[in-house]
């Protein structure tokens, strides 16, 4: 049986994910090869965007983009 453990470092500014395979920790990259991702989320009508592309959209689409997501965890929509 193969087992896979995943760890998430959810930081206020940046986040990363690592997998433990055969006793070795290996950071997981996004589609562009980045290991450290901005803790940013951008909401669209039909999808959710995360990481660098969401961070870059914050100034042009501030009402649909949330930066430093960790600060809002456990809070209500009115706090955003």
> What are the 10-residue block averages of pLDDT along the chain, 80 residues in total?
85 95 90 94 95 95 92 81
Terminal Cα distance for the chain, rounded: 43
Domain segments of the chain as ranges: 5-73
Q: For 18, list phi and psi in degrees, rounded to 5.
A: -130, 150
What pLDDT score does 23 carry? 84
What pTM value is reported for the model?
A: 0.78
What pLDDT score does 4 carry? 81
- Locate tokens 């930066």: which residue? 67
What pLDDT score does 1 carry? 63
Quick one: fold of 5-73?
Answer: Nucleotidyltransferase; domain 5 (3.30.420)
Whole-angstrom distance, CA of residue 37 vs CA of residue 4: 22
Residues 34 and 42 sit within 8 Å (Cβ to Cβ): no
What pLDDT score does 36 carry? 97
Residues 39 and 11 sit within 8 Å (Cβ to Cβ): yes
């Amino acid at each position: 049986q193969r087992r896979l453990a995943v760890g998430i470092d959810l930081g206020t500014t940046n986040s990363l994910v690592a997998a433990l395979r055969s006793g070795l920790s290996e950071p997981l990259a996004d589609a562009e090869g980045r290991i450290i991702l901005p803790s940013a989320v951008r909401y669209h009508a039909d999808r959710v965007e995360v990481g660098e592309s969401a961070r870059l959209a914050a100034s042009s689409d501030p009402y649909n983009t949330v930066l430093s997501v960790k600060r809002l965890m456990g809070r209500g929509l009115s706090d955003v």
